[in-house]
Structure 1
Amino acid sequence: MARKCTPTYSIKFSLNILAWQKHKIEKKFKIARIVYNSCLGEALKRHKSVKAAKEYHTLLKEPKSKERDRRLSEIRLANGFSEYGLHDFVRLVQHKFKENIGSLEAQKLATRAFQTVEKLHFGKARKVHFKKFDDDISVENKSNQTGLRYIDGNILWGDKPTKKCPNPKNWLCMPIAPKANDEYARIALMDNSKYVRILKREIRGKVRYFVQLIQEGYPPTKRNRKIANDETKRVGIDIGSSTIAVYSENTVELRELAPKCNTDFPKLRRIQRSIDRSKRSTNTHNFNKDGTFKKGRLEWNNSNSYKKLRKKRKELYRRIAVQRKISHGKLANDILALGSDIRVETMRFQSLQKRTKKTTRNRNNGKINSKKRFGKSIANHAPAMLLTIIDRKLSYQGQSLKKIDTYATKASQFNHKTGKYTKKQLTERWNAFEKLLIQRDLYSAFLIGNTNETLNSVDVDLCNAKWFNFVQLHNREIARLKQSPSKTLRWFVA
């Protein structure tokens, strides 16, 4: 019988606990790390045994078919490479630590380990990483009935006190309460809790603990948030590596993605160099005379200054990530306020991150051009994250982000006046329409917003009907961008 799938959202609270409770949580997290690493190691063994099978290699070379996929699946199951196969393995591991980690919590750790190795197995990842002693980690349950659970304003974990055992060693009862003026949290706590997740995070050099309640239903609507929730209102967005162009009936905008989240690369480089110098000075035996690493399994001695520098670098990245997430959330809300029929081109940002294979030379000095593309820009601005947030927020309205066929529509090349496609260089930022100059990204957003219902071509009649209104909004936006303090935005209209 298929599992019942219901809408889900999460709400996060900080855990303000006593010192003795922290010691118990630390013990549980230490055991969780051991269980996870054990499952990861076992999953890797099973992955290697599957890859070593001759029949498996032979089948991979054959053309794709249902029979081929069935045989591949049988080989994986025969070697125990499956989620439930790893659940059987973790049962024996969990039995040694049953006082601190429940069976369902151990199964969730096994599932995460299997999903990690599964990405490696299917070529979606290059390698896997075991959890180190000081790594961030989380533990979650599969239900809210036993083990780690939320009941009546308290997070409970472990065996309940009884008459025979009034003070169990593994028992934790941690109260949580929303702030006095947090109406959103109060309404969210009224919903049924599916399961609980506890997270360990290092913030500004201090270890803190948080709890996430996975609630059933849709999140409450915030009082200060405007939601269109109108499928008749179309919104076209043309997203790039650092900017996003937005088009609707009343708005035409070009905005920078996460403008305050640019990584301080000079500062980061200084930290990286300090880390490298510290590593080399305390581990001279691990390097060759030319400065390269020696081959084989090496033992590393890390100084206290090295550890401090690593924490400093980690904190720098954490702050940027938090700011980026907040910025994307606000931008997603602004877009959702314009309409619920949101359309975007299908994009492969991973391909944009890769270095180009073609070698080119600079026309002026004859030097070979750099093969770098948009890696740093995508890392800073995270455009895929914005689309994920928009899609998640749309799902609360029972809708989803509509992705048009990029290769069929060719929005960046199409001209709705002539019906022709013209390839353009990335440096060409304007489209000419007789005496009019239209910014390329804004025009692409306009075309994307006026695609047909099959999402594979531009509706020319609709474009013609809305053209005059778009030109007026476009000219107003260009005037604003030329006065913008952002160098990035000014470059797009230069």
Structure 2
Amino acid sequence: MPRSTKPSFVLELPLKVDSKQDSELQARFNAAMRLYNNVLGEAKTRMGLVRKSEPYQLARKISRDRKKERSDAFSKAREAYRFTDYDLQSYANRAAKDSRWIAEKVDSNTQQKIATRAFKAVERVLFGKAKDVRFKVESRFRSVEGKTNKQGIRWKDDRVVWAGLELSAIIDFNNEVIKHGLSCPVKYCRIIRRELNGKRRWYAQIVLEGISYQKPQNYVSDGLVGLDLNVSNIAFVADSHADLLPFADKVLTFSKEITRLQRQMQRSQRGLNPDNFESDFEARKGRKTVIKKGKPKKGKRQWKKSGNYRKTAQKKRELERRKTAYTKSQNRRVVNEILRHGKNIKTENVSVKGWQKRYGKAIAVKSPGFVQSELKRKAENAGGSFIKFSTQKTALSQTHLDGSRIKKSLSERVHRDVTGIPEHHRDLFSAFLSRYVNQDKLSLQDAVNEYPGVEPLLLEAWQRHLTRNSRKRVPKQAV
């Protein structure tokens, strides 16, 4: 019998932590990190044995059509070398007891959850979803969580309780989101460690049973929405509204500041670790001969880091954190705006990972993948749907209302239909056509029939887009 799953959401609250509690939490997180790395190494070893084993090689030869037989064969191969979640939980408990100090700092339930976390990381490599796993260092080990709210890390009476440690939360009881969250049953709790502006901060994330609070302005409507996702914007056409919204609008990228800090860090590294770099060399730049810095030598090496280097790195991390926070905040507004017009979404199956190879910096700044995943999550949680269809089979950007297909270059942003209808923005017209795609086939007749009612929406959306862009180009002195 498959285990029933109930909807859940997360409520995050800041914690009041004094210096003594901070030191204790640091010690416990250090113990948890070392246990995680221990289990991760053991899981990698067991995965290697599984891959080399004869039962695993035989399982790979079984046809994918025989799913049950193939799955059972893989399970037996993993069980033979104790590469299962349960076996690694047992290993984690034994390893913690052997070290003693880890068992004193981390309770058994949390040890098991750490083992599950390591197992899932290595399992992704076995399934081909990741190339490798990374062992954690302090800056990358940011959370510890419990299994249930009965033992270990627990939420109790407006505070986090963990093996004799009680951490009070800062709660605004006038906040409707917090009031709703605290009224729901608690599944389990986790403690988060973050660095904000050079200072360590602690938070409680409570995983609650139910559906998260919905603000009145962020309502979700029934209706069909066609999407066209781009690198820097998203076009959508709903039943009675259309728009072309930019990603991460007016977000500060701090690109100049980050570049300056990176140069400082590079100079510091080269000064303290000259043996880790190849020698400088001459190179031609146009008609000039310039001296170029040598690249870092390959292989694992020891790196010295000065105090100034660490301070500069911390400043860079803070700017990147702020940039990411601003981007997510603005992009969530885009998601909420689309869902206000419909929760049944149709869009092309585009690969944002593929875009990263060509538009790396733009993807990092605009984060279209985050918008896509948030739309899917929120639409499905609201009882809607998120349907992807093939880009190659539909070719919406090339399709005209008479059924003909004419290729366009990426720089051509205007759709000029051969049937004589007015010009439209390319992305908006593709979003309009996506509403009529079913099972990778475009129902062109439905699009033609509905076009007269949608034409004003498309033209108004394009005009709004042009108005927004013209405002951005106004010099600051003229405002």
- AA aligned opposite 2:267: R
Supply the distance in 2 between the matched residues of 1:16 and 1:286 (Cα, whole angstroms): 43
Shift of 1:478: 2.3
**1:145 offset after TM fit, Å?**
0.5
Give the CA deviation at 1:54: 6.5
Scaled by the length of structure 1, the TM-score of the pair is 0.85
Superposition pairs of residues 180-191 of structure 1, within 5 angstroms: 180-191=173-184
**1:7-27, CA deviations, whole angstroms, 9 ceiling, x for partnerless residues?**
001110011222222122111
Q: Which amino acid aligns with 1:402?
A: I
The corresponding residue for 2:17 is 17
From 196, 205, 211, the counterpart of 2:204 = 211
Deviation per CA, 1:56-85: give whole Å up to 9, x if none: 567657864545554444333322333223
**Gap regions ≥5 residues in structure 1:** 159-170, 355-372
CA contact (8 A) 1:251 1:473 kept: yes
1:255–1:489 CA contact under 8 A, matched in 2: no
Q: Which residue of 2 aligns with 1:166?
A: none
Aligned residue number for residue 365 of structure 1:
none
What residue in structure 2 maps to residue 407 of structure 1? Answer: 392
Residue 110 of structure 1 corresponds to 115
Q: For residues 404 and 134 of structure 1, what CA distance do their matches in structure 2 show? A: 40
CA distance in 1, matches of 2:44, 2:76: 18
More helix by share: 2
Aligned mates of 2:359, 2:111 — CA distance in 1: 40
Partner of 1:163: none
Q: Which residue of 1 aligns with 2:30?
A: 30
Q: 1:247 to 1:488 in 2, by over 3 A?
A: farther
Which residue in 1 is equivalent to 2:464? 480
| Root mean square deviation of aligned Cα | 2.5
**Counterpart in the other structure of 2:80:** 78
Following superposition, the deviation at residue 87 of structure 1 comes to 1.4
Task: Give the equivalent residue in structure 1 for 2:368.
Answer: 383
Residue 244 of structure 1 and its aligned partner are, at CA, apart by: 0.2
Alignment partner of 2:443 out of 459, 462, 465 = 459
Deviation at 1:42, TM superposition (A): 1.3
CA contact 1:256–1:488 (8 Å) conserved in 2 = no
| CA-to-aligned-CA distance 1:105-160 (integer Å, 9 cap, x gap) | 112211221222223333333332221133341011111111111122221111xx
In 2, the alpha carbon distance for the partners of 1:288 and 1:407 equals: 46
Q: What's the CA shift for 1:92?
A: 0.8
Match of 2:427 among 394, 416, 441: 441
2:243 and 2:428 in contact (8 A); partners too? yes
Closer, same or farther: CA 93–334 of 1 in aligned 2, 3 Å: same
* Amino acid of the structure 1 residue aligned with 2:263: R
With 55-64 and 13-22 compared, the bigger mean Cα shift is at: 55-64
> Which is worse superposed, 235-244 or 96-105?
96-105
Matched, 1:157 2:162: yes
**Equivalent residue, structure 1, for 2:436:** 450
What letter corresponds to residue 356 of structure 2 in structure 1? Q
CA deviations over 1:393-446 (Å, ceiling 9, x no partner): 22332333222333332222222x212233322122222231521211000100
State the TM-score, normalizing by the size of structure 2: 0.88
Partner of 1:42: 42
* Contact 1:247–1:446 under 8 Å retained in 2: yes
Within 5 Å, give how 1:43-442 maps onto structure 2.
43-53=43-53, 56=56, 64=64, 66=66, 67=69, 70-95=72-97, 96=100, 97-158=102-163, 171-228=164-221, 230=222, 233-261=223-251, 263-290=253-280, 291-354=294-357, 373-415=358-400, 417-433=401-417, 434=420, 436-442=422-428
Is contact 2:226–2:432 with CA below 8 Å preserved after alignment?
A: yes
Counterparts of 1:474 and 1:91 in 2: how far apart (Å)? 61
Equivalent-residue separation in structure 2 for 1:422 and 1:60 (angstroms): 44
- Equivalent residues of 2:93, 2:108 under 8 A apart: yes
Alignment partners' CA distance in 1, 2:258 and 2:180: 42
Q: 1:413 to 1:435 in 2, by over 3 A?
A: closer
Q: Which secondary structure state, in structure 2, belongs to the residue aligned with residue 420 of structure 1?
A: coil
Residues 31, 106 of structure 2: 8 Å contact kept: yes
Give me the whole-angstrom Cα distance separating, in 1, the residues matched to 2:239 and 2:300. 62
C-alpha displacement at 1:477, in angstroms? 2.3
Is the contact between residue 256 and residue 489 of structure 1 (CA under 8 Å) also seen in structure 2? no
- Cα deviations across residues 277-299 of structure 1 (Å, max 9, x unaligned)? 21121112333435344454422
The one-letter code matched in structure 2 to 1:474 is L
Task: State the SS of the aligned residue for 1:484.
Answer: helix
Distance 1:185 1:350 in 2: 35
Distance 1:195 1:427, change over 3 A: same
Q: Are residues 1:468 and 2:452 paired?
A: yes
Corresponding position of 1:367 = none
Give 3-state SS (helix, strand or coil) of 2:105's partner. Answer: coil
Aligned identity (percent) is 32
Unaligned runs of 5+ in 2: 281-293, 475-479
Question: Aligned in 2, Cα 1:157/1:437: closer, same or farther, shift over 3 Å?
Answer: same
One-letter amino acid of the structure 2 residue matched with residue 330 of structure 1 = R
| Higher mean displacement: 194-203 or 326-335 | 326-335
Quote the Cα distance in structure 2 between the aligned partners of 1:182 and 1:207. 25
Q: Distance in 2 between matches of 1:2 and 1:124?
A: 24
